[in-house]
A and B are shown apart, each in its own frame.
Chain A
Amino acid sequence: MPYEPLLLRNAGKPGSETIDAYLASGGYQGLRRVLKESTPEKMVEEVKASGLRGRGGAGFATGVKWGFLPKTRDKPRYLCINADESEPGTFKDRLLIEKDPHLVLEGIILSAYAIECRTAFFYIRGEFHQGCRVFQRAVDEAYAKGFLGKNILGSGYDLDLVLYRGAGAYICGEETALLESLEGKRGLPRIKPPFPAIVGLYGCPTIINNVETLANVTLIAERGAAWYATIGRPPKNTGPKLYCLSGHVKRPGVYEAPLGVPLMELIEERAGGLLRPDRPLKAVVPGGSSMRILPASKCDVLMDFDSLVAAGSMLGSAAVIVMDAGTCMVWALLSLARFYAHESCGQCTPCREGTGWFVKILERLEAGQGRPEDVDLLTDVANKVEGNTICPFGEAIAWPVQSYVKTFREEYEEHVRRKGCPLAATATVS
């Protein structure tokens, strides 16, 4: 049965980013219906019933998250949209923002309505120049057509949306660092609790949702939770999903499929298979660089939240990084470790000191100066970072280190024995 794209239904068509094209394809009908017939409470229930889980990385149920807002109304509530997409291997939100911004915007308005928020903040990665331009135009169009601003579509509901560009820090994709950055401060994660739903932006109750999550809310409003909940692998892994394929595949890119699509189907059929016929699959990172790596032997897995946890990794941002037999696993981890060492905010001890330490050990291993004890040391340092940091950045580096070393231990030991990288001459990535 061919899959009819839902999130990417407009993307790729000429002028897909304009409001006219969006309206012509039936856009904003869901918003019209909800504002006319529904209530915020019903909208929250609808999203709960859909089974929608956050597409940012943790896969937390969106409706349940909204339900954490305090019942009192003594402070304004804010919706922050996390468009700081920076996880290596991840480029799905960027596509939505650039190609179908109104699909996202409709979801934002619907979600803001559901949580009774009057001001929403769209925090977009600073490097997304094109995305910023496109999205700002979309916002302006929405204001002009009465989808934003005062008394939206005559419903009496007001919503303003502020577009805010980040300044280039991976950590600002962590939701509380995002809030700090939005408040004009250095992007340092906050201690939790209190959680943002209670004390968030400017001390007010705040919901932070990912771009793709909100695009899914548009679908739910259009065709109902019952329909939505049939997509994917109900009951716990429902809806369509964008998968970012990168690495050693013939056609890297963003592909849409229901949750629960087989990983090998994505690689073999959608992305055209491996790049070089002479190099078999070695490993896949299924959910963005922070998630544990799966060796080829474990790649016969379904791409959804629970299947990947069972396989020992996580769906994360669904960024599928494919590595073939030419990949050195020490080099690959070093490359990642350099990224995390550069992006660690420097606030808390284990992450600040640990990330730099990983780089130094891995550089020595790769340069042929490894010591036998380095292999266990990497794992032990990662174990001491994991769980002891202010924010999940600690896990984001600890999990790759632990899993790369555990899965490819022999390769690490070989680097020590042979005083250098056995694959250095043949590596395809450099």
Chain B
Amino acid sequence: MAEPKEPQQPPSPPPGPALPAAGPDDVSLLIDDRPVVVRKGTTVLQAAEQAGLLVPHYCYHAGLSIAGNCRMCLVEIEKAPKLQIGCATAAAQGMVVRTQTARVKSTREAIMEFLLINHPLDCPICDQAGECRLQQYEAAYGAGRSRFNEEKVHFPKRYDIGRNVVFDAERCIKCTRCVRFCDEVSKTHELALFDRGDHAIIGTFPGRPLDNPYSGNTVDICPVGALTWKPFRFRARVWFLRDVPSACAGCARGCSVNLATYNNRIHRITPRQNMQVNRFWICDAGRESHAPLSERPRLAGPRALAACKGGPQQEAAWEEALDRAAELLRETAKAHGSGALAGIVSARLSVEDLHLARKALSEAAGIPRLGVPPHVEGEDDHLLIRRDRTPNAKGAALAGPGAPHAGRVKEILEDVAAGRVRALVVVGEDPLGDGLIDAAALGRLDALIVIDWWKSPTAEAAHVALPSCGYGECEGVLVNFEGRAQRMRAALRPWAEAEPTWRILRELGRRFGLAGEYPTASAVFDEVAATVPAFAGLSHRALGGLGAVVKEA
């Protein structure tokens, strides 16, 4: 085999009149006759992207190292005898790049033909159909026919390569994005390319399946249908899905995500690029965080104990249940003083929920103590996962009843057990299920008002249980551990009679004289922005898709 020639001296480019001026750290070049100025070190592919030109590619991914193996991004560069891959070629001063010449087009056509000769073309049964780069690029750049009349290479199909990932080696185009992800991002090194030639196959090492906290990202970045996410397989055709941009509520990172919905169900959660938060990735737990919505029993409508005590919970109309809750709180305060009232409020709730918890419970109803339980699990990892599993601890500290504090919660629950607290309002928490208090101690309460989205053990023990929206059913803002406020968006209609927590609190507060319209979550947030300095100048609109950093003193 011929050894490659060493590089020639770089040709000195004639400064064409069309080239724009470039600063000392910039280079200017022409791509398809468009002048582009980019930072030094930018690749031709990225420069084209900045100029609004797509150079098609499979193996290139902005979050991974350059592999240069798919050859789809070959472009013509003046003075280079061969076509060059845009993903690995640095943009240089005076470079003249062409991405639409006959030579480039025929090469793309050839690459598409090569990629498809051994591909099963099983789109009708492939989950990737509709978001498959083979389909997209064949339509855009392919010849629409094949001259391959041979038996295809056969590989294992429906292979469980990991806990939640299924591998179809026949669909694989060996772009090695998944391999590079496991090497460079998750740093778990489960995947590698094995064997050679057209028998090359992605695989795992004996006894080491693809099983890491970030394995689902390999499915996202797989440009074809080779890696599929087990829980999503055959669930929905992607063209029926609607991606709703939101933020993950699984931990204090608050990754930007898309909630893919169809038929009022979240079918999958995928990362949404946000370089300030999660770059291109999310963890598997976040990806599966919609599962409880369908797995846990929901509170369909408000429920209240029939009699004052003892009887089973019964369905109640909203007004009736709210009246009952207010009445219970009032009676308790009257009998034992307001010191006998307390609340447990969750840092998983949004800024809007927490703001109204403070307004309605502390200010209007005069509940003197609100505790916010921390939820801590494991350790912060090297990538995204935070040990603080509350997505809005910072929001609770800035706008709500205070930062999570185990001691305060413990004190409150001890006072419940000791009979000093006689009425407890629990919002979005489950102290009974979490083992913070036992059923007997909880049973001593004269009033247990629970606002939650599911029939938690605590909600089941409540005198009044009020159904709130689950994840993905309401709007609201979360502030992550770095102080970035992001919007959660409503992707689903609320389940049955569920209402947003802030609205339930508003209604309860009104029974204690809470003023203010609070027509929407956005309006609640506007009040937060007007009254809490950290949020000054922010609004739902201002947060946009990527969020904004709150001003911390």
Could you tell me which A residues sit within 8 Å of B by CB distance?
54, 56-58, 60, 64-65, 68, 87, 169-171, 173-175, 186, 188, 191-193, 195, 197, 288, 290-291, 314, 316, 341-350, 352-357, 360-361, 364, 371, 373, 377, 384, 387-393, 395-396
Contacts and interface: CB of A to CB of B under 8 A. Distances in A.
Contact of B197 (A195, A314, A356): A356
Contact of A354 (B7, B83, B114): B114
Interface in B133-162: 147-151, 153
11 contacts: A60-B5, A87-B1, A186-B192, A290-B2, A349-B173, A352-B197, A387-B83, A390-B68, A391-B4, A392-B4, A396-B2
A174 B2 CA distance: 8
Given A346-B198, A349-B69, 7 more contacts: A352-B198, A354-B114, A355-B198, A356-B198, A388-B74, A388-B110, A390-B68
Nearest to B118: A353
A353 B115 CA distance: 7
A60 B107 CA distance: 29
B196 interface: yes
Contact of B6 (A87, A169, A197, A377): A197
Contact of A384 (B5, B107, B150): B107
B508 to A, nearest CB: 63
A342 B192 contact: no
A349 B114 contact: yes
Given A342-B196, A352-B200, A396-B2, A347 B174 contact: yes
B541 interface: no
Contacts of B111: 349-350, 388
B2 A57 contact: yes
B3 A175 contact: yes
CB-based closest 7 A-B pairs: A346-B200, A356-B198, A384-B110, A58-B3, A360-B150, A353-B114, A344-B197
B1 A341 contact: no
A60 B3 contact: yes
Contacts of A60: 3, 5-6
B334 interface: no
B428 to A, nearest CB: 50
B4 A58 contact: yes
B92 to A, nearest CB: 11
Interface in B162-213: 173-174, 192-193, 195-200
A346 B199 contact: yes
A353 B117 contact: yes
B548 interface: no
Given A57-B3, A314-B2, A355 B197 contact: yes
B437 interface: no
Contacts of B192: 186
A14 to B, nearest CB: 35
A391 B69 CA distance: 11
B439 interface: no
B316 interface: no
B85 interface: yes
A259 B84 CA distance: 34
A61 to B, nearest CB: 9
Contact of B196 (A173, A343, A373): A343
A349 B70 contact: yes
A388 B3 contact: no
Contacts of B83: 387-388
B71 interface: yes
A57 B2 CA distance: 5
Contacts of A361: 150
Contacts of B148: 357
Contacts of B4: 58, 175, 192, 391-392
Contact of A371 (B6, B71, B149): B149
Contact of B71 (A54, A197, A356, A388): A388
Contacts of A360: 150-151
Given A195-B7, A349-B173, A392 B1 contact: yes
B64 interface: no
Contacts of B382: none
A342 B82 contact: no
B88 interface: yes
Nearest to A361: B150
Nearest to A187: B196
A185 to B, nearest CB: 10
A186 to B, nearest CB: 7
Contact of B193 (A186, A195, A291, A344): A186
B66 interface: yes
Interface in B198-254: 198-200
Given A354-B114, A387-B82, A389-B71, A344 B3 contact: no
B71 A348 contact: yes
B154 to A, nearest CB: 12
Nearest to A193: B7
A360 B149 CA distance: 9
Contacts of B199: 346
A353 B112 CA distance: 11
Nearest to A196: B6
Contacts of A56: 3
Q: Which of the listed residues B74, B82, B114, B173 has the most CB atoms from chain A within 10 Å of its own CB? A: B114
Nearest to A54: B3
Nearest to B111: A349
Contacts of A345: 196-197, 200
A148 B1 CA distance: 31
Contacts of B110: 350, 384, 388
A429 B67 CA distance: 41
B4 to A, nearest CB: 6
B198 A353 contact: yes
A195 B147 CA distance: 37
Instruction: Name, among A56, A195, A291, A348, the residue most crowded by chain B CB atoms within 10 Å (CB to CB).
Output: A348
B147 A350 contact: no
Nearest to A395: B2
B74 A191 contact: no
A348 B114 CA distance: 10
A44 to B, nearest CB: 15
